[in-house]
Structure 1
């Protein structure tokens, strides 16, 4: 929520217009309120100082709009140095610091505002967003509820954020009610339709989910992402060959902080152990291994003892930070797995992909790129979710995961002259208390490929 205001020395009623701030999905709705100067401002600033502060304020506004958030922050700080405590400037500084990913700094400024104006709804809204960035969801929820109680902001956006926080707390039914309230206030909030569709999809209410995704798409939501959603829940869109890259990256960046506990502890994930157990059963060591889609490094403790060199590749920078902390990878690469395989100058004698291909339907580009990266005699092993229809190559499921047929995987191996050393059917994880059937595939490039 970025504030664009008349910057006048009289401190009268000022117009607040929502602009392209970091916590807004839409803008352009005005509202009015009185401005109270901070207690430290017992005297009106000199006209020269006020004019300089005003210039810095609007420089900050323009820098923010242009995406130059560090410049915006410096401009707002300069404005505050000239006219301390001005709430409009503090609020815009807070919005900027949240966009810079510094919620702790923002919280300090927010408390400065609330010490003067405890019922400032904009400050409460930013406070809730800051707690959300810090994954302090109960505190975020309490502040969104305070914003809604104050009733001085248009309610659509606060209800949207309220619902997102309830989702983060694992309360989807209540989140759905919040999204309905957001849409009752403003039916044009595309993100509320998207989030509503996601909850309905998880509830297996596919027709309602598809309707919500269609509404979001009509309102300008990401076309690639929403066609992917619609293909998963209704089949009315052609099945895309892969999940959108930005979807996967954002999903795992957001998921990184509790990924291991949720996946292994709550979903009973075991693909990393199953894949590496059968790999060590081959009874050989490896010169150079690459862990595709390495995530937080769940496979690393099992791969490091059998590989002289271990490289990890992932699309999520947040996941790579977690993997780096393990100290088991010689090198970590932030890249798409196909791009890495196609562009690397290295040849590996072990390539692994544990629970990666649930986000890749068409595996032909992976196998094509592997031709260059896997040395003769090398092993390529991976897991895949099992498709219900063995006559299909791959399916996009309502869970947004891809499943593959054994026939398809064996066909790809044959076309690329890879021998099937082992293929094991075993569960990958649990989903809503049901074991998800999977395959663990071990392929070898013949020595004669030299």
Structure 2
């Protein structure tokens, strides 16, 4: 637990009570070493006129180096061979799925896609959670869903918005959601999930639930007002939520150096009085260990935790982006060769004797075949029925929607070829 920068809200309240209870006089105030104002209880008086612009940079927690060698075996996770292999297979499967669906978008077969190239170690955070913990994602958390048991068929159905899509075709591709897996549906507006996660965590605290919420977002989202509102709410109310910031260096298209001047995103957590840790986001075991410890803090002490995972987005931001406009291709290639989350995990497994050199080819080939089959099956399915446009908002349709639905049904019946009704499932 010493790896975290700790701040106890209980201790702060105790200091405040002591300050308020102490007798006040001018002489007494002059003798104080700590300020008596309730807005900054840990500050000391100083006679130096000095503006503070920075503090010592927060260290980055790491379990293994870029060659997969564990640096301190006391921090090596107690992971079974099968579980470790499953996590690595999921990383390879995620890669295969990203490759297929990225090309599918380029062929015009789906409308949009976002890959996770370079950020596959995020799967380590999912492995550290309880299945009942609630997940609020942004849109690069497919690996979390994969680790939780979301099937390839479910991924493909969502990206195709077909009749088997859990979201009934109402969302853009990669905006996944699963009630069964406690994964809240992703929405496009940036950072809206952060205060929502704080609210859900507060409800858990009131219910006495021994679960927590984890909320994923990028460093670009930390520039939104919702970030500050969400963190402050969680800190002041004592919400069991883990804020997981993927700092991949570029947000959508703006380098970090142009986004902020402070010490990353982690320093902001400390500013809000939140237990904070910065980790190597390409080290799956650093992520796993930090998330596991963060969950213990959140659940047992009802407090928020901020994890800043330092990583590098190898891919374009999305299929709507061309990253060569704001960084060189050589920079990306150098990063991929120098520090690859997949290479680290593979080296660790091989050092343990849990993986053979030729297995990558076999697993990737099998994963790609499974992805392509699910892809082909999803492509054959029809789009959701027209009636789905009107469901799941009201328990009973309001009169305005009843009239609108009748008008649409009449148009579909009158102009079936124009509206390509055969491409859609029939309404019951």
The TM-score with structure 2 as length reference comes to: 0.28
The structure with the largest alpha-carbon Rg is: 1
The TM-score with structure 1 as length reference comes to: 0.27
Higher-strand-fraction structure? 1
Higher-helix-fraction structure? 1
Q: Give the structure, 1 or 2, with the largest relative contact order (CA under 8 Å, sep 6 or more).
A: 2
